[in-house]
Amino acid sequence: MISVQGMTKRYGDARAVGDLTFDVAAGKVTGFLGPNGAGKSTTMRMVVGLDRPTAVTATLNGRRYRDLAAPLHEVGALLDAGAMHPGRTGRSQLRIGARTNGIPLSRVDNVIDQVGLGAAAGRRIKGYSLGMRQRLGFAAALLGDPQVLLFDEPVNGLDLDGVRWIRALMRGFADEGRTVFVSSHLMSEMQLIADRVVIIGGGQLIADADIEQVLRGLDGQRVRVRTPAPDELYRALAEHVAVERTAVQDELEVTGMPAAEVGNLAHATGIPLHHLAEVEQSLEHAYLSLTEDAVDYHGVTPEPVANGATR
């Protein structure tokens, strides 16, 4: 388990992370989301002791990273695939990590095979592609067979086969009861793999919830209902929950009441319904709604010209 309690990081007058509190539970894949500059990488670096918090700290299974006697046996992290000596071979890089952490050298070949780098392990890292460096980073994180794993943008540079592999790897680790904490900007991937998401913006917590709760809407389940008697249904619903009219004729949107209860209420009051469905949204849509006020860097969309081109 990872526990972050009141974590703060300042660089001079600039605050990168402010009073951040959340837990990452074992047995789940927890996605860590936020816009560029939100403080995700800084937070993960502080968790594993690469940056020092200005205030408070984080614990891994109840202890600070610096207090772990054999860190690689308990925590594995891939935070920067480029942070490896380019002149070493992939195998020698892993052997150094094994020797300095009391890990049998036989484990090096095991993780090389596990990440699919067998054919490239004897080559120098400077000749690796980004995807190969990512795989080597995974191997380094897995050397000590740790119970806590942190991955920062793990699918960068991976081909489709690699993406499917790391997805299955993370899911398998969580199913074994390990703690898996992963940041990504790929919402479609997070929707497929994450059990829970922590969303930050401007270094502060925006949401910390199970992914199904985020998809339903943090303010409650939303339901769309159409009826030939919208005024009557509006009055009946407004006594119990939040309800508003939509742009669609005779349609209402209800927040905080399941579809079955909306249907039961309509039936009890004799109001006919022509359509009743829970509103489904993608993680991308939910994320954009939650972070729209926390984006620091906005690009400019090209304006269309008369012939359909852009300028």
What pLDDT score does 289 carry?
84
SS (H, E, C) 231-290: HHHHHHHHCCCEEEECCCCCEEEEECCCHHHHHHHHHHCCCCCCEEEECCCCHHHHHHHH
- Rounded to whole angstroms, the Cα distance separating 238 from 265 reads 12
Tens of pLDDT, residue by residue over 156-194, are 888 899 899 999 999 999 999 999 999 999 999 999 999
Give domain limits for the chain.
Answer: 2-215, 218-280
Residue 270 pLDDT > 60: yes
Q: What confidence tens digit (pLDDT) does each residue in 252-262 have?
A: 999 888 899 99
How far is Cα 19 from Cα 5, in angstroms, rounded to an integer?
8
Q: Tell me: the pLDDT tens digits for 92-131?
A: 999 999 999 999 999 999 999 999 999 999 999 999 999 9
For residues 302 and 98, what is the distance between their CA atoms, to the nearest angstrom?
51
Greater pLDDT, 306 or 82: 82
Report the pLDDT value the prediction gives residue 170, as an integer from 0 to 100: 94
Q: List the Cα angle 23/27/30 in 5-degree steps.
A: 50
* pLDDT band, residue 54 (cuts 50/70/90): confident
pLDDT of residue 168: 93
Fold of 218-280: Alpha-Beta Plaits (3.30.70)
Looking at domain 2-215, its CATH superfamily turns out to be: P-loop containing nucleotide triphosphate hydrolases (3.40.50.300)
pLDDT for 310 equals 57
Helix, strand, or coil (residue 123): coil
Q: Can you give the pLDDT at residue 37? A: 87
pTM above 0.85, yes or no: no
What is the C-alpha to C-alpha distance for residues 275 and 271, in angstroms, rounded to an integer? 12
When the pLDDT of each residue in the chain is averaged and rounded to a whole number, the result is: 90
CA gap 150, 182 in Å, rounded = 6
